[in-house]
Amino acid sequence: MLSILRICLLLAVLAVVTLGAEDFYKLLGLKKDASERDIKKAYRTLSKKYHPDKNPGDSTAHDKFVAVAEAYDILIDPETRRIYDQYGHDGIAQHKQGGGRPAQHHDPFDLFSRFFGGSGHFHGSGERRGPNMEVRVAVPLRDFYNGRKTEFTVEKQAVCSACEGSGSEDGVVETCNVCGGRGARIVRQQLAPGLFQQVQTMCDKCGGKGKTIKHVCPVCKGERVVREPETHELEIEPGMPRGVRITYENEADESPDWVAGDLIVHLMESDPKLGEQEHERTDGTFFRRRGKDLFWREVLSLREAWMGDWERNVTHLDGHIVRLGRKRGEVVQPGTVEVIENEGMPIWRQQLPDEVSEAYGNLHVEYVVVLPDQMDKAMEKDFWSVWEKWRGKKGVKLDAALGRPEGPIKMPEKGHDEL
């Protein structure tokens, strides 16, 4: 009985160990036929996502960062990748024990620095930092109201993944034998007979880089960087103000010579337009926003404004209905603005008091009365007789009521000085 329990316990331990060794392809989000470029691109994305500097105090992110580096290290090398594809983690372990070539980058921060420059940390002291990048991203009003998770793409300068920023196809970079790696050399110039001047100029051979490359990388042409699109996740919170700045740390232009600056996104509101999907064709699409309040213009006919007895269903930005209407006999004057509480924009959580979980602004509805351009003769006759009847009973002459003269006023003669 005891031996059976030991066997079960051993099997459980083996199962845990097996599950703990996550598949490298799955870890990087790749298929088994992924190309070298796909592997490098996956590493670039995930290493920035799980970097400990971006996840302070998160041990899970730190472990993920190390695991991503290990997965890249194994899959990027053709020999270790072949062994892993055939024998898995056990094959890699036996390969290392048998004296096989170990992984190229033992330190995950060293690997990170090879891709992104600097010391491998986002906040290294004394390191040169690249410029920030600012972009505008426009989203419809419904996204500001409902909130949304989406993506946007920017084109940026990135460290060449083919040569890992070395500019060399084979990774060999030599020190310039003319300037000794300084990138500049001292030139002696004669100003006059017996008078010379020493001037520092850029080295012609290495172009001021201090390094020379025999086999130039075919992807970046030796420039060490390339222009490429990069996609980022964008989370829009309900009630965010227009123009809000969202910062993506160290996601600006990259270079082997500096730590990347920040990518700053200015969230703007796009012009309203009817979309193809049902939720993109609501009345709320054409709401106008001012701070926490929304504004809507509702058109009424002369009969509705004068006689009442009408209802309207205005579809809001999240699909719920706002009911407008008047009972019979309730008059709506042109230009009247009705304020409907709690039907405006949600107030952004960062602007709410701690004790309040959610709150909304108001919806301002302006009523516009449209008069008919033409009138049927029979209708005109009926209206005229009704109005004449009531004017005869209760009509008021406005000129007399307001004290206006019936004829022209005689103006003073010329030359009259009113002062």
Rg of the Cα trace of the chain? 37
Write down the pLDDT at residue 96.
77
> What counts of helices (H) and strands (E) characterise the chain?
10, 15
Phi-psi region of 204 (alpha: psi -120 to 50; beta: other; left: phi over 0): alpha
Sheet strands side by side (includes 288-290): 288-290, 293-301, 363-370, 337-340
Sorted by where each starts, the structural domains of the chain and their CATH numbers stand as 18-116 (1.10.287.110), 272-406 (2.60.260.20)
In which residue ranges of the chain is pLDDT below 50?
A: 1-3, 5-20, 102-103, 105
- Encode pLDDT of 303-317 as tens digits: 999 999 999 999 999
Looking up tokens 């017996």 gives: 194
Write down the pLDDT at residue 412.
79
Write down the pLDDT at residue 265.
97
- Encode pLDDT of 369-406 as tens digits: 998 888 889 988 998 998 899 888 888 888 888 888 88
Residue 218 CB contacts under 8 Å (≥ 6 apart), including other chains: 162, 169
- Nearest CA to 168 out of 219, 226, 112 is that of 219
pTM of this prediction exceeds 0.85: no
**Which DSSP state fits 319?**
S
Write down the pLDDT at residue 313.
96
